[in-house]
Structure 1
Amino acid sequence: MIVAGLIFAAVAAFIHIYIFYLESIAWESERARAAFGTGSVEEARTTKFMAFNQGFYNLFLALLAIVGIAAWAAGASAVGLTLAFAGTGSMLAAAAVLFIASAPHRGAAVKQGAFPLLAVGSLGLGLML
């Protein structure tokens, strides 16, 4: 179960790296505007700095999970699992906030939170077994 949880954590991390890319690098692109519903390039420009900052939050959560996976693979299981839980747990908490706070964004919250939920659940079960 631990290995499955770490695989889910890796998928969650890569999703959050992609979100980082959209928010911090490609915010004004057609793909990012469609994904986040910002409309025109001009509208995207007004929120570019906030999106840039938010993208780095997503990157740091992803890196936390990735470093946790690497630490676990290197034999530091307590450190690795702690970091993987911290990264994916924070991703899950952010998705829950989005789900609760914004009905129009619930689909995005589910997409953002599905793999972190699977990671947290699998890791938790793996530790109990």
Structure 2
Amino acid sequence: MAIVASILLALAAVVHLGFFAMESMLWSSPGVWRRFGVASQRDADAVRPMAYNQGFYNLFLAGGVVVGLALYWTTLRHVGFGLIFFCGVCMVLAAVVLLTTGRRYWSAALLQGAPPLVALVLLAVAQAA
């Protein structure tokens, strides 16, 4: 179970790296800001600093999961578990917050939150065994 959980967590990290790229590096592309529900270039320019900042939150969550996985599978299993758990819960809670913004964000919230949620359950069961 820990291996499947690790694969799902790695997938969650890749998803969050994708969000980082879109929000912090590719935001000026109309195809990107439209995905986030922004209607015009003027609006995209206005929220660009917020998107840039938000992208780095995603980068840091992905980084935490990657470092946590490295620690979990090498020398500091309990430290890695703690880091994975914290970052994974943050990912899941961010998806829950996204769900509260409207129905059009449900698929994005599932993409963002389902892999870490399932992974955390599997990892907790594996850790308890």
Q: Could you tell me the TM-score, scaled by structure 1's length?
A: 0.92
Equivalent in the alignment of 1:16: 16
The share of aligned pairs that are identical, in percent, is 37
Is the counterpart of residue 91 in structure 1 residue 91 in structure 2?
A: yes
Identify which range, 63-72 or 113-122, moves more after superposition. Answer: 113-122
* 8 Å CA contact 1:91, 1:113 repeated in 2: yes
Q: Aligned-pair RMSD on alpha carbons? A: 1.3
CA shift, 1:100, in A, is 2.8
Unaligned runs of 5+ in 1: none
Identify which range, 58-67 or 69-78, moves more after superposition. Answer: 69-78
Unaligned runs of 5+ in 2: none
Q: Could you tell me the TM-score, scaled by structure 2's length?
A: 0.92
For residues 31-50 of structure 1, the C-alpha deviation after alignment (integer angstroms, 9 at most, x for no partner) is: 31232121332221110000
Extract structure 1 runs of 4+ deviating beyond 4 A.
Answer: none
DSSP 3-state at the match of 1:28: coil
CA shift, 1:108, in A, is 1.4
Is the counterpart of residue 75 in structure 1 residue 75 in structure 2?
A: yes
CA shift, 1:83, in A, is 0.8
Q: 1:128 to 1:73 in 2, by over 3 A?
A: closer
